[in-house]
Amino acid sequence: MALLPQPFKALIIGSSGTIGSAFMELLQSNPLCTSAIGLHRNSEIPIDYQRPESIEAAAKALAPEGPFQLIINTIGVLHTSEWMPEKRLEDINSDQLVDLMQINAIGPALTIKYFSKLLDTNHSVMATLSAKVGSIEDNRLGGWYSYRASKAALNMLIKTAAIEFARTKPNTALVAIHPGTVNSRLSQPFCGEQIGRPPWDAAGDMFKVIESLEKQDSGTFISYSGERLPW
């Protein structure tokens, strides 16, 4: 039986981004979603992964709005104006590694820690966007050291938390979702506009997966198509 109830309340973390804003638009037009709240760096209740203390503060501030049956975290970074993904081992530098770990792994881990307290204990889903390139088994091309490592760390954190949730939150599915290549600022330097999909299509595909999640799906890495991906 699917865990996401009807109706449901949703929280989108990273709602100002390309995929986050698409999820907001999708859920606000869904008659089964009675409330869709968005958080980002400049929202009324801000959340900023460069300021880890903002994560706990945001969760506490939103507690009166809960419980939520659906929380989706879309925050992530691949490149900035200062650096691009490394092509060679020689390109690795500590600043880039630290920054990507902070945003792609540490921030989401703290989000799971604090925001999971806002989930409906009777039936809920918490989904975090990951990336297929974070799969160790699927790594065939190499490169992108910091991004791959940060997403692999994220996947391990989600898998480990899901094992604990099986005891403490047995009616919650905690999953990592790969959105595929989406037309966005993140993918634009890598031919994203030519090979990617519109963000609204990506959000719709992922929501179909979320709608179908059952208890036994917790702790899995799933593609937008519903395919189980190797860790």
**Selection from 150, 5, 160 nearest residue 67 by Cα:** 5
User: Residue 192's pLDDT is what?
Assistant: 46
Tell me the pTM.
0.93
Residue 137 CA to chain centroid, in angstroms? 20
Inside any domain, residue 231: no
User: Residue 209's pLDDT is what?
Assistant: 98
pLDDT for 131-163, tens place per residue?
Answer: 999 999 999 999 999 999 999 999 999 999 999
Q: How far apart are CA 215 and CA 26, in angstroms?
A: 24
User: Residue 144's pLDDT is what?
Assistant: 95
Inside any domain, residue 201: yes
Inside any domain, residue 149: yes
User: Residue 153's pLDDT is what?
Assistant: 98
Joined tokens for residue 50: 């460069």
Range of the domain at 137: 8-223
pLDDT for 83-111, tens place per residue?
Answer: 889 999 999 999 999 999 999 999 999 99
User: Residue 195's pLDDT is what?
Assistant: 55
Joined tokens for residue 138: 């699927």
User: Residue 18's pLDDT is what?
Assistant: 93
Inside any domain, residue 168: yes
Inside any domain, residue 230: no
Q: How far apart are CA 129 and CA 146, in angstroms?
A: 17
Inside any domain, residue 44: yes
- The list of the chain residues with pLDDT below 50 reads 192
User: Residue 205's pLDDT is what?
Assistant: 97
Domain count, the chain: 1
Inside any domain, residue 56: yes
User: Residue 184's pLDDT is what?
Assistant: 64
Determine whether 76 is exposed, middle or buried from the number of CB atoms within 10 Å of its CB (0-12, 13-18, 19+). buried
User: Residue 228's pLDDT is what?
Assistant: 96
Instruction: Give the torsion sign (CA, 175, 202, 23, 194).
Output: positive
Q: Residue 124: which residues within 8 A CB-CB, separation 6 or more?
A: 3, 4, 67, 68, 69, 70, 71, 169, 171, 172, 173
Inside any domain, residue 228: no
CATH code at 136? 3.40.50.720
